[in-house]
Homo-oligomer: A and B are copies of this chain.
Amino acid sequence: MPEQPRARYAYLGPEGTFTEAALRALVGDEDVDTLPCADVVTALEKVRTGEADFAVVPIENSVEGGVNATLDTLATGAPLVVVGEMVVPITFVLAGLPGTALADVRRVATHPHAWAQCRGWAARQLAGAVHVPATSTAAAAAHLADAGALAGYDAALCSPLSAERYGLEVLATGVADNPRAVTRFVLVGAPGALPDPTGADKTTLMVHLPDNEAGALLHMLDQFAVRGVNLSRIESRPIGDSLGRYSFSIDLEGHIAEERVQATLIGLHRVCPLVRFLGSYPRVDGVAHRQAPGTSDADFIAAREWVEGLLDGGT
């Protein structure tokens, strides 16, 4: 009997990143192949080329905002869709070679976003310490474990998983200027069968606005409002060839299987030069959306049947 091949998950590596933690939370006990990648673009491309079935990448941080590489890679190129999400609390550890004393730390390697989230802590606890940028928090840890005294820095700000994975000594825990900081990760796959609606779903879109039209953003948002569809995230991105032209990355509350979401997509498609559907998937928090009166599937179906009756001469 042929064995079911194991699903392959690309992720923003190296091993030990917060992204790997998100991946583990998403797959649970499932036995999967994991492919650490050097950056978000590479991880997503592996799904496009078929080298991976899924990719796990960060999309939004509660302190830093949207992850541009993820937003922009989803927005252009071969189609990809989000099929799940995970939220992971972001608190760092300061990790050094065994025997390092906190007082001796002068140079700290980490990803610039991580540094931005610990700047206040570093000013208080490591006065005068300098930031050495790394391509990821895990890379900072890995290089330190690997190069030792020649690494060019004394400690890495990284995830607890990284410190453990690379055998570093934890010099400080719970490092974060904002102790409630979280990052949202998305599970991305190739287009195909959509996750079933659960009643607590999100849909992700990328929308271009009509050029040179005053109030274009207002009119675009009206397409949502008139069908009672709420947004849970909206983020502008430059379209790329000039200032002053923006696309919008949007998460709405609801699943494309729902009538009000379909009606909103139809409205957007009519009035916006470009709309890209980037998936409908269960919300990690399981919170059902607030449904305004007149926006249930039954309301839409009854209204449509009424109009069909009118076309047949009914009343």
Contacts and interface: CB of A to CB of B under 8 A. Distances in A.
A271 B293 contact: yes
Given A135-B133, A237-B65, A256-B310, A191 B315 contact: yes
Interface stretch (A19-27, A28-36, A167-175, A262-270): A262-270
Interface string A104-127: 000000001000100100000000
A180 B221 contact: no
B194 A311 contact: yes
Contacts of A225: 214-215, 218, 222
Interface magnitude class on chain A: 35 or more
How many identical subunits does the complex contain? 4
Given A193-B313, A222-B222, A307-B256, A240 B63 contact: yes
B300 A184 contact: no
Contacts of A214: 225, 228, 230, 290, 292
A293 B213 CA distance: 12
A37 interface: no
Contacts of A315: 79, 81, 191, 276-277
Contacts of A7: none
B262 A307 contact: yes
Nearest to A119: B41
Contacts of A51: none
B238 A236 contact: no
A38 to B, nearest CB: 9
Contact of A234 (B217, B231, B277): B217
A240 B289 CA distance: 23
20 contacts: A41-B119, A63-B238, A65-B68, A65-B236, A65-B237, A66-B236, A133-B134, A182-B242, A182-B243, A215-B221, A227-B267, A233-B236, A257-B311, A262-B311, A263-B263, A266-B300, A266-B303, A269-B302, A269-B303, A276-B315
Interface in A43-94: 60-66, 68-69, 79, 81, 87
A55 to B, nearest CB: 17
Contact of A152 (B152, B215, B230, B238): B152
- Of A65, A66, A244, most buried by chain B (CB within 10 Å of CB) is A65
Contacts of A257: 311
Contacts of A79: 315
A313 B277 contact: no
